[in-house]
Structure 1
């Protein structure tokens, strides 16, 4: 059995997961269960795919010391504008346009990363300038007009925007997509095996282990959630192709941050940059890598955005940076840097998506939706600050 300290530690560690459950239950009640309909579960993924991608990259920036990138929304718009113009107005092949879009996004990230990492201009200033520059360039490229990309079905379906943007049901399940359901069961099984083997490795290495009851319940519940999620998607059209991109980003960056030396550098810089530098780590390169990577993921988010909306417009990407930053802080990333995980960020992104979808289904005014998201973000940061003071709310003079 768990003692009081273990219970409190478990609750504190998984606060946002419980908040997510409460929010889903609330909107399920308020919408008569509409938010849990298979179509809306699928829409939750499609409409918020860009948040998952951008928030994962934003986490690396935040880990370096609470730094953020304000330019990602404008970079998403600019990359999308260039890509749509290349494909539709200049006849560039889809594969070449994709390479160019990735190259442009990465180059923008490297350009901003250079000023931040090596010249040491504050990230806020550099990325604020980028937000203005690339928003303006988006208007220049598009000439203030909308460029439709509906004719490029291969691009649209690849990045999750067309009617056929779902993985085919290879098992022929009919109304229920058996391929999707089978994939969910396989995913849940792999998750359980990874958790068990990870616990065995920790035990053999002499690390302190999580309470066996807590471990078993948490693992079983999360595996059940994965299967239930897959079942809901299977009831609609199956696995959206954009979900594949999201899973690739989440798994790759989840592995990098938790199992690689480079990943630990981000935490080290955010925890104590001076000590990290004295230990022989080139902190400049860590900053540069964080912002170059952010540009790369912004390019991916740009392709996902124009594919879903089947067009490019000068207004796309507005407030995307706020959604990404909010997801990170709500998901447990520290405003001071050095703390945060990819799974936590995904929880934050899902919470933001559920709030957006739930309020939309309830017909809440768009302005009030912004108010609610602002309150949720402020509450998450307050919780982070207060918890670091031992649960004491202290007003400093």
Structure 2
């Protein structure tokens, strides 16, 4: 079987990006900036600084940082699945309703039938997979556009939620599920003094240092691989500066969380998901095929990619992640309700596009979707802290989404790619 084309996200090409080394010489070393991928992180930093000033520093208080992570965890889980769907050139409008119906299934199993929570969780994820398979079949094998299939699913699964719940809430959930949604890791190693910052959980700090070390090793291996292929890389001082900046950000957040109530369990879950799906998209054959399908469907088909199978499993994956988000959301509220998941699909789609996904597909990163979701979360939280009315919050989020998509279109035109006019 032929190898699928490399993704547009990782292939070095175009102005301002890494290029090939010259024949007969060593790989060129120059500063390369991809404005599409870097702009989102700059925007995130500016938004955080803006709301930190507007809230008098309350945005960056330990408790508030923890609240932002916990309150947006289910949107971030959905964003991971949604970025894969959008990269493949599709869309999923049903995830909010899937969150509701799977939360309802989990409640019925755990509360009404006393099924052990691990088994109930597995069964709920299985229901999510079946829902994804149902939609994936109509899209991949029957040829109905994903917009239509998932729009129908949005109505179908919302109606199914009302049927399962009998139009009423069901709860409370077992303690373990509530802990996964709202709980924090224990202070396994005790606290350590941080001077004027007070005490902080040592285990959380060590976890942060491990994350920084893992990031540094991964980036160093990527740099070494690029050099091995004769591709241009950043000068070593610039490379080290980027790693130091990312590490400082991770440790700043970790210190604040360690000062409050340690690491939220849902953050541990998110970290595992981000790591796993980043490896899937960057290292695995299936991940490369997702980019190939979204980037150039005809070329992917000619390269031997089983397009229908790829699309089918992308929607199965989306169903599983929506089910996980449904359990997390229901556990956080300690109740499965008929209105759960309303507008979640819009937030997940917005997170993916703000995070750098291309409207036409073929471009996007998991970490970008997470960043986009955090931008939405910071906007919601910051506007709430300054007492802004809900209509103003919606206005700002709409402007940010429009600006992100406009930026994507502008970068394509600047690169000379065809864009609808």
- Say whether the fold is shared (TM-score over 0.5): yes
Aligned mates of 2:236, 2:117 — CA distance in 1: 51
Does residue 1:173 correspond to 2:191, yes or no?
Answer: yes
Task: Report the counterpart of residue 70 of structure 1 in structure 2.
Answer: 93
Does residue 1:156 correspond to 2:178, yes or no?
Answer: yes
Contact 2:353 2:404 in 1 (8 A): yes
Aligned mates of 1:96, 1:396 — CA distance in 2: 49
| Cα 1:170/1:396, change in 2 over 3 Å | closer
- Give the drift of 1:215: 1.7
Secondary structure, aligned partner of 1:127: helix
Deviations along 1:76-127, whole A, 9 cap, x unmatched? 0000011112211122221221111011001000000000000010000000
Deviations along 1:331-371, whole A, 9 cap, x unmatched? 10100000011111111111111111101111111222112
Task: Report the counterpart of residue 20 of structure 2 in structure 1.
Answer: none
Pick from 272, 277, 281: which aligns with 1:257? 281
Aligned mates of 1:249, 1:269 — CA distance in 2: 23
Matches within 5 A, 1:273-292: 273-292=297-316
Aligned mates of 1:79, 1:396 — CA distance in 2: 38
Pick from 216, 222, 228: which aligns with 2:246? 222
Does residue 1:266 correspond to 2:290, yes or no?
Answer: yes
| Cα 1:366/1:203, change in 2 over 3 Å | same
Task: Report the counterpart of residue 115 of structure 2 in structure 1.
Answer: 92
Does residue 1:299 correspond to 2:301, yes or no?
Answer: no
Aligned mates of 1:280, 1:18 — CA distance in 2: 38
Does residue 1:102 correspond to 2:125, yes or no?
Answer: yes
Deviations along 1:296-335, whole A, 9 cap, x unmatched? 1001101110111111100110111111110111010100
- Give the drift of 1:381: 0.4
Task: Report the counterpart of residue 16 of structure 1 in structure 2.
Answer: 40
Contact 1:233 1:239 in 2 (8 A): yes
Aligned mates of 1:202, 1:281 — CA distance in 2: 26
Q: Which runs of 4+ in 1 moved over 2 A?
A: 4-13, 204-208, 210-214, 394-397
Higher helix share: 1
Secondary structure, aligned partner of 1:368: helix
Aligned mates of 2:342, 2:36 — CA distance in 1: 33
Unaligned runs of 5+ in 2: 1-14, 17-29, 193-198
Matches within 5 A, 1:222-241: 222-241=246-265
Does residue 1:354 correspond to 2:378, yes or no?
Answer: yes
Of 329-338 and 358-367, more deviation after overlay is shown by 358-367
Contact 2:32 2:234 in 1 (8 A): no
- Give the drift of 1:214: 3.0
Aligned mates of 1:252, 1:363 — CA distance in 2: 38
Secondary structure, aligned partner of 1:176: strand
Does residue 1:29 correspond to 2:49, yes or no?
Answer: no
Contact 2:187 2:202 in 1 (8 A): yes
Contact 1:77 1:138 in 2 (8 A): yes
- Give the drift of 1:11: 4.5
Contact 1:160 1:166 in 2 (8 A): no
Does residue 1:50 correspond to 2:74, yes or no?
Answer: yes
Of 6-15 and 87-96, more deviation after overlay is shown by 6-15
- Give the drift of 1:170: 0.9
Task: Report the counterpart of residue 9 of structure 2 in structure 1.
Answer: none
Aligned mates of 2:320, 2:348 — CA distance in 1: 15
Contact 2:181 2:332 in 1 (8 A): yes
Does residue 1:130 correspond to 2:153, yes or no?
Answer: yes
Contact 2:413 2:419 in 1 (8 A): no
- Provide the aligned length of Structure 1 versus Structure 2: 388
Unaligned runs of 5+ in 1: none
Contact 2:31 2:233 in 1 (8 A): no
- Give the drift of 1:255: 0.3
Contact 1:35 1:358 in 2 (8 A): yes
The root-mean-square deviation of aligned C-alpha atoms, in Å, is 1.9
Contact 2:31 2:234 in 1 (8 A): no
